[in-house]
Amino acid sequence: MSHIIKRPRTWKILAIETSCDETSVAILEMSGVQPAKCNIRILHHEIATQIPIHQRYGGVVPEVAARTHVPELIALLERAKIFGAKHRYNAIAVTRGPGLATALRVGVEAGRTLAATTGVPIIGVNHLEGHLASAWLVPENRNVWKFPMLVLLVSGGHTELVLMKDYCSYRILGRTRDDAAGEAFDKTAKLMGIGYPGGPAIAKLAANGDPTAFNFPRPMLHDPSLDLSFSGLKTAVRQTWEKLPSARRADLDIRADLAASIEQAIVDLLVKKTIRAAQKVKPAAIAIVGGVSANYLLQKEMTNAVDDYLDGRYLLHPAKGFHTDNAAMIAAAASWRLSINKTDNWKTLDAKPEWDL
């Protein structure tokens, strides 16, 4: 739904993110109307991670995440000095979905309450669009932000190849048919007992391992579609792990080889499918976003592949610290929505745990 809103010269967007296990608040200043020409400044940004809390369970526990968001969010909003300070923001952005229903609800209800009491417009943001916008927050990326842009979106819950035709206009070219890439990292790490989140844990262990030690499957690699699949990899890792005698499971070299082979299989699949998509749609630029895009091997191999196969295409990344969930990217996506007058009604805004781009 769109409402006619009075457009100030400068938007100060207060953004709230609570879709999974990070509570985050940001204030983003946007001067200028069009995303292509505006100036952006992050005035305030804080992320409170719940990772240490969920680590003891080996994964995110939705009820615990939601309960933890409540005090964290209030503390972050207080530290952003927004209570009783009308000049601090003139728009509210809140992650509406996809994500954990009860966790999303904490942010959505806080945003609605602020909108109701201040009268400022509210934008319910798609978390995936937020990840896309995370790369746009980098000033150098904005200078070469060209359409159509091919985006590999790789997170804990999603793995998609997206064609961005314009701001707020997308076509899904391919997606995982089962697990997300981040889930493949998280589940195999849990199996090996090396902690949560699995991506950074596997990457760390993999640094001393041989990526060719175990030949794990790359499902769908030769399938002509742009879809991906990771559940076969997970099964193969489980079978390999279960066959290892316990003394060998404890062997650091074997663990490192396993981690390196898992990481290589995931990266191979992501890079090859992205290049195949690029060869098909011939984008003007390519971006990789989402938590898994923090992976160093993925960044390195994607950079080499883009250099080798896609001469002259730009490869854009979010800045360090902006790959995983954060509220600045939610504010950035909201700024795109504001530029086309897409706002929501606080009275009817609700969380949307299952929400496609």
Using the minimum distance from each CB to ligand KG4, give the nearer residue, 91 or 128.
Answer: 128
Torsion angles phi and psi, residue 11, rounded to 5: -90, 135
Does residue 186 belong to the site contacting Zn ion (CB under 5 A)?
Answer: no
Using the minimum distance from each CB to ligand KG4, give the nearer residue, 104 or 114.
Answer: 104
- Residue type at position 31: S
Give the residue among 279, 278, 171 at the shortest CA–CA distance from 288.
Answer: 278
Among 35, 107, 121, 157, interactor with ligand KG4 by CB under 6 A: 157
Q: What b/e string do you get for 242-256 counting C-beta neighbours within 10 Å, with b at 16 or more? A: eeeeeeeeeeeebbb
SS (H, E, C) 46-89: EEEECHHHHHCCCCCCHHHHHHHHHHHHHHHHHHCCCCCCHHHC
Restricted to residues 133-152, the positions that interact with Zn ion (CB under 5 A) are none
Cα–Cα distance for residue pair 247/236, rounded to 1 Å:
20
Does residue 156 belong to the site contacting ligand KG4 (CB under 6 A)?
Answer: yes
Does residue 155 belong to the site contacting Zn ion (CB under 5 A)?
Answer: yes
Using the minimum distance from each CB to Zn ion, give the nearer residue, 160 or 325.
Answer: 325
Does residue 124 belong to the site contacting ligand KG4 (CB under 6 A)?
Answer: no
Among 58, 62, 195, 200, interactor with ligand KG4 by CB under 6 A: 200
**Are the C-beta atoms of 119 and 92 separated by less than 8 Å?**
no
**CB neighbour class for 1 (10 Å; exposed up to 12, middle 13-18, buried from 19):** exposed
Does residue 126 belong to the site contacting Zn ion (CB under 5 A)?
Answer: no
Does residue 203 belong to the site contacting ligand KG4 (CB under 6 A)?
Answer: yes
Using the minimum distance from each CB to ligand KG4, give the nearer residue, 107 or 156.
Answer: 156
The minimum distance between CB 232 and Zn ion, in angstroms, equals 24
Among 18, 23, 155, 339, interactor with ligand KG4 by CB under 6 A: 155
Binding site for ligand KG4 (CB under 6 A): 20, 155-157, 182, 185-186, 197-200, 203, 290-292, 294-295, 324-325
Binding site for Zn ion (CB under 5 A): 155, 325
